[in-house]
Structure 1
Amino acid sequence: MPAAIGAAVIGELALGATAELVVGYAVLSVGLYGVNYAAQALLGGEKRADAQVTVRQPVAARRRVLGQAKVGGVIFALETLKYDNPDDDKAKILYRGAVHCVGPVAILQYWLGDVKTSLGQGAGGVVPDSVYQGKVSIEGHSGTEDQPASAALLKLPYWNDSMQLLGLCYSVVVATPLKKGSQIFPEGAPDVRLLVSGAPSYDPRTGGYAYTDNAAILLLDYLMHESGYGLALSEISVQSFIELANVCDQPVALIEPDPNGATVELRYRSWGSYTYDEQRSDVLGRMLAACDGELYQDADGLVAVRGGRWQAPTFTIDESMIQGWDQLEEGDEAYNTFTRIKHTYTDPFQDYQPTEGDPWDDLASQAVQGVIETERSFIRAPSHSQSRRLAKIAMAKGNPRFRLTGLRLSPAGLPAYGEATVTLDLPSFGINTTFAVMRGTLAMSASALTSVKLDLISLEASAYAWDPAEEGQRPPLPDTYN
């Protein structure tokens, strides 16, 4: 059974199969009550046309955060209620509820639109910034399985104690009219965004659950979670994930401190979110890209991971083992398919938006061919330095000196199967160098192994060597200039 499961997971990643699990916010399926232009209640004395309508929307896909992410929300309550005010018989209170993601998460920051509030982490409260005049509060719920119903929403006629939104992280804004409200909220109702740290993940190194942004641990989380592949530990090569997790935790020095003053970061972190209706292979691909990871099926049929660092070969393929091959390509910088990698990462200092980093250039090849661009997305990488390191590796793998496809080996070549790298010694072709094993299959006849078939690309340790001086120029902060 593990062998079949491992093959299925690897096959789905390769083929980009459609995700099977689509789950919506069931608690929202009753529809959405709201008031059209309800946000105008915040606009103080400005003239407005009051109108009440019922707003409905499809059930939204659940969103899950691993690492950190800034998330908007899906509105599930939008209402205004009149309150007693002798000076204004039309005075109203606005209630706006939005689901942000599945929980449990930790709420780190509260934002109103693009403006960070001074509310501290946790359950929220009255927004203390003077611009909001003490008239706006945000109630935050972290998405535990025992959270109570919203105290604010219980004031609405259709809300009751049973509406707890268990397992969902959501916010509720309560606001009364503001002076110059149209300037404070030019787009209408205050749009709440939350910066959250994701759900605890299982770490086989400790045997416990805790928050982490370790790229290997989060990859393991997605393979095991019901929204991902739902694998059991018995179907996974746990040791391979432990080894990669230790690599991800290695410190990397920064030449230029980040805006928070940090001069060191961990090697491979992973931040972001995904929705339950995405193709699983797409989510998995993003998570693998954050750590140069590659899934494969080991000799026991288990799902294993490798990558992220140089692994010196322990096995040599020589001419006596070779039965033939489909294609051998040899080239140099004059035949590179690209000479510049434009790469994208998520920058927490650019409002957690996808940000294009300083491109990785192969200067030697550019001197011969000029600039030939390609693009890579490392969207779950939360730092410019990490994205540059991944781009360097991608350049080496994308433009190998040798590429050998369909290499057929006798049973003597079996030890090469499942290896990260091998040495290939072909004196007849002037080849004696290290190769990365990109793909492998076994050929059987009855119960006997007849051959091993591999795809190889030449790769050297220099692809993973890193000098902090290579980190390049981090994009300038918003509203700053070089």
Structure 2
Amino acid sequence: MPQVIPVVLGAVASNFVSGVVGGGIIGAIVGGVVGSAVVSFTAPIFAPKPKQAKFSAPSVTSISTGSRGRTEMVNQPITAHRIVYGRTRVSGPLVFTHSRPVSGSDNKLDMLHWVIVLAAHEVEEIDDILFNDETVPLDGNGAATSEPYKRDGTVYASIYKHLGASDQTADQVLIDNSGGQWTNAHRLRGLAYIHAEMRYDDKAYASGTPNISAIVKGRKVYDPRLDDYEWSDNAALCVLDYLLSDFGLGASAEEIDMNSFIAAANVCDETVATLDATEKRYTCNGVVDLNDSARDVLESMLGSCAGYLTYTGGKWRLQVGAYYEPVKTFDESFLRDAVVMRPHRSRRQLFNTIKGAFVSPDHNWQATDYPAVASDLYITEDSGEEIISTLDLSFTTSHTMAQRIAKIALEQIRRQRQIQYPANLAGFQVMAGNTVAVDLTRFGINGLPCRVVNWQMTEEMGVDLTLDEDGENIYAFSQSDLKTIGDAPQVVVPNNQSVPPHEPNNVTATAGENYITISWDRITESDFRYVEVWERTSNTSDPETDAARILEVYDNSFTRNLLAGSETRYYWLRAVDRYGNKSDFAGPVEATTTGDQTVVLVLE
């Protein structure tokens, strides 16, 4: 896939600029010649970016760190704002705490007041309240109605909800019970929050004070079909909101191709079959951490709709996971130079099985593995080997939706033909992200649908197009493709991103005349990414310092070719997971090639 190029928004001004965000923000400025770059929403599959250690709170946008951080309270002096899209479970920073005696009692501080900010904006609704992982039933006044938080007529927990409206008033219960610490000036306008009032009881709080979270219907977004703002989990509208908002890219309405977003929103609202019901085609339900880069945020949000986001001609355009009819047919008559076709992807980029996680409402809104999406046909094409890659979907809350998105990713990966098409001026009639048809009779190609994944204007006033094979079947879907998640799915451990993988087992080395083959047991851990191979001509106790890392292997074997005869090599292997964690080294294993040693004659 083309390399991801960071966007420079201030410099993107020409009408000839095209860029695509599909799991990332892309921009291209090539000297004085303007061009474009395109990345599919599958970009994180090919090049996952391990999160770097930060001194601030962990991001809640990504699924690897987000499922825990999103639903747990934060008690620290500085935290990033959070934006809630769709409907999800969320907690947030504890911004105020106060303890006091029960009214009419002695000076024992049995009453505790907490203020927890859930979102940095007005929300549609704060629904269920959870203490730890248990829902607390509340009456119309916010008082608990069942044990252990109400017993013998005494209420031990009350929740007061504030949606963050622009005219929001201060919490009166806090004003009356904080001894002047919370006043009429503490309105927290534009912040959605809850005030938790807890009365100590050894049965209600036997395990100490609880982690408090809420199910929230989040931000109201602009819908160009209605020309109004309302709550929606429509993925296209959520992406549009992020583009328009000051906390996002801050684009103006004039920089948005609204027709493309209307079309994309309509696709997202289409009804599709699940295992036993129906659901919308694409929804977006999750939390944006404003500490994350815009590129990381858009990668996650676009994953919820298998989306492409393009910037061309001064406007942003969105395409979601659906087939778009070709806008033009390119044949030999539009060529200005020789065409080059790549029939196959490299083995490193080729997969036949996709696994990953989504956020499951049925499992306390934790990151949970969706059923693997695989193809027996593709496994057969790959000599019977299951080659696994990972696609995590942090804004998806349906395992059937996750399977449909993963299937699109798999089908896109298996469409392997890529065409380098040097177009004449006809290339200016298309833009990055467009679908085109290709007729090249000498290659046996007739009406092949392709997506423009790179658009590059040349000094000869032509356009170099990179075209990736597309097709209507990529997006076709049948109910029979779905699998049940089962009664006991694998819930991703919240701190799993800090747990290194196991080292490769049963590593062996066999040699031929001028090659050495290294093999090991296939690694089946769900977050496994690849195996590093390190090489040296002699043994060492410190391979990371003394040996050379020569390869990253996504399979369970590789062959080192072009060696001399009677040459000995030592190898060490270690596994790397999707978070960048590395196992201990396995090895060394050694082997010596069986060919005759090369004799060098030096004539003087």
- The RMSD of aligned alpha carbons is 3.0
What are the equivalent positions in structure 2 for 1:414-429 lying under 5 Å apart? 414-418=428-432, 420-429=434-443
Are residues 1:131 and 2:148 paired? yes
Please say if residues 359 and 368 of structure 2, whose CA atoms lie closer than 8 Å, have aligned partners that are also in contact: yes
Counterpart in the other structure of 1:141: 162
Counterpart in the other structure of 1:96: 114
Please say if residues 152 and 174 of structure 1, whose CA atoms lie closer than 8 Å, have aligned partners that are also in contact: no
Please say if residues 18 and 311 of structure 2, whose CA atoms lie closer than 8 Å, have aligned partners that are also in contact: no
Are residues 1:13 and 2:25 paired? yes
What are the equivalent positions in structure 2 for 1:73-472 lying under 5 Å apart? 73-83=92-102, 90=108, 92-105=110-123, 106-119=125-138, 125-133=142-150, 134-154=155-175, 155-157=177-179, 158-183=181-206, 186=207, 188-256=208-276, 263-298=277-312, 300-324=313-337, 328-331=341-344, 337-369=350-382, 370-405=385-420, 407-418=421-432, 420-432=434-446, 433-443=448-458, 450-472=461-483
Query: For residue 389 of structure 2, what is the amino acid of its counterpart?
Result: T
Give the number of aligned pairs: 426
Please say if residues 247 and 309 of structure 1, whose CA atoms lie closer than 8 Å, have aligned partners that are also in contact: yes
Residue 83 of structure 2 aligns to a residue whose secondary structure is: strand
Please say if residues 267 and 386 of structure 1, whose CA atoms lie closer than 8 Å, have aligned partners that are also in contact: yes
d(CA) in 2 for partners of 1:345 and 1:356? 6
Q: Indicate how the Cα distance of structure 1 residues 91 and 162 shifts in structure 2: closer, same or farther if over 3 A, else same.
A: closer
**In proportion to residue count, which structure has more helix?**
1
d(CA) in 2 for partners of 1:97 and 1:104? 16
Post-superposition shift, 1:167?
A: 1.0
TM-score (norm 1): 0.81
Residue 282 of structure 1 aligns to a residue whose secondary structure is: helix
Q: Indicate how the Cα distance of structure 1 residues 141 and 336 shifts in structure 2: closer, same or farther if over 3 A, else same.
A: closer
Cα deviation per residue 1:82-132 (whole Å; 9 max; x = unaligned)? Answer: 23566x663521112211112311111111111111126xx8611112211
Query: For residue 374 of structure 1, what is the amino acid of its counterpart?
Result: S
Q: Indicate how the Cα distance of structure 1 residues 145 and 8 shifts in structure 2: closer, same or farther if over 3 A, else same.
A: farther
Q: Indicate how the Cα distance of structure 1 residues 344 and 179 shifts in structure 2: closer, same or farther if over 3 A, else same.
A: closer
Query: For residue 419 of structure 2, what is the amino acid of its counterpart?
Result: L
Q: Indicate how the Cα distance of structure 1 residues 399 and 8 shifts in structure 2: closer, same or farther if over 3 A, else same.
A: closer
Query: For residue 348 of structure 1, what is the amino acid of its counterpart?
Result: P
Structure 2 unmatched runs, 5+: 1-9, 28-38, 40-48, 50-55, 57-73, 492-604
d(CA) in 2 for partners of 1:479 and 1:359? 12
Please say which of residues 199-208 and 3-12 is displaced more in the overlay. 3-12
d(CA) in 2 for partners of 1:419 and 1:166? 41
Please say which of residues 203-212 and 285-294 is displaced more in the overlay. 285-294
Report percent identity of matched pairs.
27
Post-superposition shift, 1:443?
A: 3.0
Query: For residue 156 of structure 1, what is the amino acid of its counterpart?
Result: S
Q: Indicate how the Cα distance of structure 1 residues 76 and 413 shifts in structure 2: closer, same or farther if over 3 A, else same.
A: closer
Post-superposition shift, 1:5?
A: 8.8
Residue 14 of structure 1 aligns to a residue whose secondary structure is: coil
Residue 139 of structure 1 aligns to a residue whose secondary structure is: strand
Post-superposition shift, 1:326?
A: 8.3
Counterpart in the other structure of 1:45: none
d(CA) in 2 for partners of 1:246 and 1:126? 41
Please say if residues 357 and 475 of structure 1, whose CA atoms lie closer than 8 Å, have aligned partners that are also in contact: no
d(CA) in 2 for partners of 1:206 and 1:240? 15
TM-score (norm 2): 0.65
d(CA) in 1 for partners of 2:196 and 2:300? 33
Please say if residues 271 and 380 of structure 1, whose CA atoms lie closer than 8 Å, have aligned partners that are also in contact: yes
Residue 162 of structure 2 aligns to a residue whose secondary structure is: strand
d(CA) in 1 for partners of 2:360 and 2:241? 23
Post-superposition shift, 1:384?
A: 1.2
Cα deviation per residue 1:2-41 (whole Å; 9 max; x = unaligned)? Answer: 9629959858812799xxxxxx9xxxxxxxxxxxxxxxxx
Post-superposition shift, 1:416?
A: 3.6
Please say if residues 200 and 209 of structure 1, whose CA atoms lie closer than 8 Å, have aligned partners that are also in contact: yes
Please say if residues 108 and 196 of structure 1, whose CA atoms lie closer than 8 Å, have aligned partners that are also in contact: yes
Q: Indicate how the Cα distance of structure 1 residues 198 and 391 shifts in structure 2: closer, same or farther if over 3 A, else same.
A: same
d(CA) in 2 for partners of 1:333 and 1:479? 31
